[in-house]
Amino acid sequence: MGEKKRNDKEEVLQNYQDYVIGSYTRSGIVFIKGQGSYLWDIDGKRYLDFFPGWGVSGLGHCHPSIVKAIKEQAEKLIHIANNHYHPWQGLLAKKLSERSFGGKVFFCNSGAEANEGAIKLVRLYGRDKGRYKIISMDNSFHGRTLATVTMTGQPKYSKPFEPLPAGFSSVPFNDFEALESAVDKETAGIIIEPIQGEGGINVAEKTYLERVRRLCDEKDMLLIFDEVQTGFGRTGRFFGYQNFDITPDIMTLAKTLGGGFPVGAMIAKTGVADLMVPGTHASTFGGGPLASVSCLAVIDTIEKDKLLDNVKAAGEHLYQKLVQLKERYAFITKIKGLGLMLAMEMDGAGDWLVNACAENGLLINCTHGNVIRVMPAINITEKEIDEGTEILDGCLRNKK
């Protein structure tokens, strides 16, 4: 490493230490460039990214269509107050509505913010009936704001902030009897991730979701799907719910939606969406011109490049590669997931593997201590999958 680069890196790390609130555990790597499924650090080392930005960069880093859309839009109109109109938000809402279950869209800046909107919409729905409670799932993850971290079914995240907002509880995932027992006369909604992401890549059972949908219909409750991670092709369908032949009343989106640009959205069936009238909710930057054109570029690229087909083929290829690793190493106990939202479950801690892979130029993630998440860009190639799993194999072999 040259002296200047060393000094540059030290300056970056020092700036973070001195001036950035330390609410994240950081890797120590300083990235300066990304292209496709690869990142480069300040020292010039290249990394294959199998977990791009927690799933945000679903088309890879700096996809040309997104870069072009943002550059061109930045020369026309960057921001406009949301009491005015601009062409791109309405077009984006139309495309999202047509590709999902219809309805209307509220735009914001993140998944947590989208879920905040869903909470408010559920409360508006239940207000006249004296209903306000929302039931979530154990090991769910819905955000870090006070309401969404309370709704997240992991007390380790919410306990430091007690006393918490009222009206939230969680039950075991895929346990219909537990869910049914938790419903009372004040329950207004149920929120589910069709595949739990941060919770360990746990896939909902189709029969379970069908029963939940019926229960919501019988009890006049709203069913919310948090598709922040599963949306936009991650599972091989445009939206995760489409794998299960049921339709939610509300769906929340973010991550791949903007292709790296900060954006979130909440889609609600028309009768429900109409409860949000002027003054009930707002987001200063939500659905702005730059965010809208970035999302439009993502949708156009997914369809033009037939990326849903790629997810199915590449997902199967990656799944089989992971199965081969499981057969080779006894400490890998399970391969799970759907499409390109996959994981290896291990019988011990997995942080060592994340660190070993990073040293060898591969970025992955460990959640819940022993679940290795593998969620590459949805346009990943078989060659890149082979490259990444070879690095995984080498690191696992050294552990063995």
Angle between helix 307-328 and 382-399 (nearest 10): 20
Q: How confident is the model at residue 288 (pLDDT cuts 50, 70, 90)?
A: very high
Tokens 């794998």: give the residue.
243
Task: Tell me the residue length of the chain.
Answer: 400
Task: Give yes or no for a contact between 340 and 234, defined as CB atoms under 8 angstroms apart.
Answer: yes
Residue 91, strand partner residues: none
| Through-space distance between the first and last CA atoms of the chain, rounded to whole angstroms | 32
pLDDT at 280: 97
- In CATH, the number for domain 77-304 is 3.40.640.10
Class of domain 3-63+306-399: alpha beta
Domains of the chain, by residue range, sit at: 3-63+306-399, 77-304
pLDDT at 292: 99
Query: pLDDT tens, 258-272?
Result: 999 999 999 999 999
What's the pTM value of the predicted model, to 2 decimals? 0.96
Residue 168, strand partner residues: 134
As given in the structure block, the two tokens for residue 351 are 């942080």
What number is the average pLDDT over the span 24-39? 97
Query: pLDDT tens, 136-145?
Result: 999 999 999 9
Query: pLDDT tens, 333-387?
Result: 999 999 999 999 999 999 999 999 999 999 999 999 999 999 999 999 999 999 9
pLDDT at 399: 82
pLDDT at 295: 99
CA angle, 42 then 60 then 141, to 5°: 100
Other beta carbons within 10 Å of 271: 10
